[in-house]
A and B are shown apart, each in its own frame.
Chain A
Amino acid sequence: MHKLSARLRALPHEAGLALLTVLLLALVTSAFPRFLTVDNVKSLFDDTALLIMLAVGEMFVLLTRSVDLSVAANAALTGMVVALFNAHHPGAGIVPVLIIAVVMGGALGLINGLLVWRVNIPSIVVTLGTLSVYRGCVYVVSGGAWVNSGQMSPFFLGFVRVPILGISVLSWIGIIVAVLAYLFLRYTVPGRNLYAAGNNPNAAAYAGIDVGRMQCMAFVLSGAIAGLAGYLWVARFAVAYTDIASGFELQVIAACVIGGVSITGGVGGVVGVVLGGLFLGIIKNALPVVGISPFFQMAVSGLVITIAVILNAGTYRKSHGRKILERAEAGP
């Protein structure tokens, strides 16, 4: 009996969120059957694939009690760089493009990670800075000019659109990233140490886990994923310009929080983040279908995010009543 209730308590967030997502989908579809057309669902998957990928990267960082605000700027810069590379070497093929995207994204993440780990600056400050720097660098490399679809090779544009088993490569990449992240977090030692480092940094130090290093690793992973997403974004929308994905980092963090990732570290999982991403994606895609004006769309999705955060904080406070005071006292 006790065990059963314990089990029930162990799952609720993901189960509840899955139920909520299905309910939302049913509600929208019953009112507007055309929401569930094949084309619309494909586009929903493609949109959320990018959100989910970035959210999975963000989750690594959040797990270690840090935050990465630079993911969207990283994607914009890397996306611009690969678009320019493609414009100058139109015959290079897809492999160098993917390698450049991942390596460059990872390097931008490494800069964040080293500043957090070695220089000991709070991650929110570091990534607030690099957010502007990376975004500014898009101007520098592009001279403020757009790279249009006319300047992009067919392989560059086509790769993400190739359908495999009915869904696009873009969606498949989203799925693969999520599956790899799940396996990494569950079955590798660094993956497990990520949880330990964020759950109780003090105990992690006693267990011989270098917390700063785990944070740095999380930033590199988040950056590499952001870089890859940068190419995918540019290819999907067939244009590269400075303001690509501007402000998208907030949706990314929202997807994590809705998916049950704790802002205070150590709690969260891929399943929740994927559901959080789908949930946000459905809301974003449904609101125009339902016919709500763009102004209300922003307000409504903001409201949903806020409610999710409140629910998350509520469940957190129940089990941590006293710890808030302790943490406040222990702060520097």
Chain B
Amino acid sequence: MAEPVLSMSGVTKSFSGVRALVKGELDLYAGEVTALIGENGAGKSTLVKILTGVHHADEGTIRLNGQPVRIGSADGAGRLGISAIFQEAVVFDDLSVAENIFVTDRPRRHGMVDWATMQSRARTILAGLDPRIDPSVPMRQLSVAQKHLVQIARALSVEARIVIMDEPTAALSHREVDELFTIVRRLKAEGRAVLFISHKFEEIFDVADRYAVFRDGAAVGQGFIRDVDRDTLISLMVGRSVDHIFPKVEVPIGEELFRVDGFSRGEEFADVSFALRRGEILGVYGLVGAGRSEVMQALFGLTRADAGRVTLEGHSLVIHSPEDAIRAGIAYVPEDRQIQGGILRFPISSNIVLPSLGHLSHRGFLRRSEERALAGNYVTQLQIKTSGVGQRLEELSGGNQQKVVIAKWLATNPRVLIMDEPTKGIDVGAKTAVYRLMGEMVAQGLGIIMVSSELPEVLGMADRILVMRRGRLRANFSRAEATPESIVKAATDA
């Protein structure tokens, strides 16, 4: 049996106490494509970042041709022959194509950058990939597919033995994917080891020789693709122990509250239509990049949709700004609590009253006592653990910060609450508290749209589940008919 070119074992990595990678095991073989499969947050990106020297593993060993190695930096990874092509092309838009290819190692003559050689070598490498790419034009003028090819050219230019492709097909058309696969097969034929990360089973079965499945930061299975079928892989991906208990409250579902018809925006999402009823929690599941947050941002007026109609309680809405949305009764708890959700250095009271200042002011003047009273109300109601409403947001735990952000939006008296990854990065106890809060809110007649990448959360809390893939709604399950397998299938099917 062949020895792996690269072998990772027992690799772990934590970010400020949160374990992203618990048991990183991975073997790559020369002349073979290994597919790395897992849900969002399974640890794939962390693994790739460790392999490319962007992050350093806390523990574990990485062997290259049997020799233990330390990948200290991006530079070091390159010297070891490891090269990566990222999902969102990591390129320099205002530099030329040729320079993008040779950015780590520009050809030199007498110590000076040799543009002529760089140009001609770039031309030679590109000829085998896409002869239409002119190496002298700025990167900005290339299509996404071409930008990926330039990154592949970068790998070829350094004679990489290990080529990592992190969802390279995410933004490509069918024909472009075919062209890419021809190149992947060429890399394979040249004896390079390829790590191929994809959510699309069709592609995995088309191009990969081996698979490695990760779940919750740990390797849960690897082997030959020819020995497995799609359902086996899916059950490896989702088959987890149920470690959260969801305090789902049965609330009578009322009449239709909010309706979206034919919502579209550029290349981000198209023809999204759904309805939300009073008392309902509508789960929106999808992989990262499926367009879920983009739809929500457009609904909230952060961006503008090109087409579509939004109605709330039967009245048509025109939303051009978050201000319009708040006035209409829509609130948005964004995904990133610390950046988008709250102002860390402000006290709790200022955070809570921020979007409601318009209601609170008397002829343009604010009364601190009223602000504090309103904030104090929510602190009691939501059981926010704090020394007082004057405490700064940054001093609270993640779960309590999230409660403050939720309180801030409840204070605007919304009728529709959009929650984007409402329990991301908070501990289990705080998650349960947030779920309980969601139950209380719908009991009062709100409708909640919950965007989530966590399957158990979607299955545990949502009354209905929409699945998005590549900017479109692909499935609509009732609570009763949804299964982990059916949801993952809808989110990943090509």
Interface, chain A (partner B; CB < 8 A): 3, 6, 10, 183, 186-189, 191-192, 195-196, 199-200, 202-209, 266-267, 319, 322, 325, 329-332
Contact = CB atoms under 8 A, between A and B. Distances in A.
21 contacts: A10-B138, A186-B113, A186-B115, A187-B115, A188-B111, A188-B112, A189-B108, A189-B113, A191-B113, A192-B103, A196-B92, A196-B95, A196-B103, A199-B92, A205-B54, A208-B53, A208-B76, A208-B104, A325-B303, A329-B339, A330-B339
Interface in B83-110: 84, 86, 90-95, 99, 103-104, 106, 108
For chain B, the bracket of interface size reads 35 or more
A183 B111 CA distance: 12
Interface in B301-329: 302-303
Nearest to A193: B103
B481 to A, nearest CB: 36
A207 B336 contact: no
A208 B339 contact: no
A186 B106 CA distance: 12
A208 B104 CA distance: 7
B75 interface: yes
A206 B86 contact: yes
Contact of B112 (A187, A319, A329): A187
A322 B134 CA distance: 26
Nearest to B74: A208
A199 B93 contact: yes
Interface of B: 52-54, 73-76, 78, 84, 86, 90-95, 99, 103-104, 106, 108, 111-113, 115, 134, 137-138, 140-141, 302-303, 336, 339-340
A3 B134 CA distance: 10
A207 B83 CA distance: 10
Contacts of B78: 208
Describe A's contact surface by its main secondary structure.
Answer: helix
B140 A192 contact: no
Contacts of B84: 206
Q: Which 7 A-B pairs have the closest CB atoms?
A: A208-B75, A187-B112, A203-B90, A208-B74, A199-B92, A187-B113, A207-B103
Given A199-B95, A200-B90, A331-B339, 5 more contacts: A187-B115, A192-B113, A205-B54, A329-B339, A330-B339
Given A3-B134, A189-B113, A325-B302, A195 B52 contact: no
Nearest to A319: B140
Contacts of B74: 205-208
Nearest to B114: A187
A204 B92 CA distance: 8
Contacts of A183: 112
B265 to A, nearest CB: 10
A2 B99 CA distance: 22
A184 B137 CA distance: 21
B92 A200 contact: yes
A192 B339 contact: no
A55 B340 CA distance: 37
Contacts of B140: 319
A239 B115 CA distance: 45
A204 B99 CA distance: 12
Nearest to B334: A329
B110 to A, nearest CB: 10
B92 A266 contact: yes
B486 to A, nearest CB: 33
Nearest to A268: B94
- Which of B84, B104, B134 has most chain A Cβ within 10 Å? B104
A205 B73 CA distance: 9
Contacts of B141: 6
Contact of B106 (A192, A205, A319): A192
- Which of B53, B91, B340 has most chain A Cβ within 10 Å? B91
A75 B106 CA distance: 35
Contacts of A325: 302-303
Contact of B92 (A188, A189, A203, A329): A203
Contacts of A191: 113
Contacts of B302: 325
Contacts of B137: 6, 10
A331 B338 CA distance: 11
A217 B115 CA distance: 23
B94 A266 contact: yes
Contacts of A322: 303
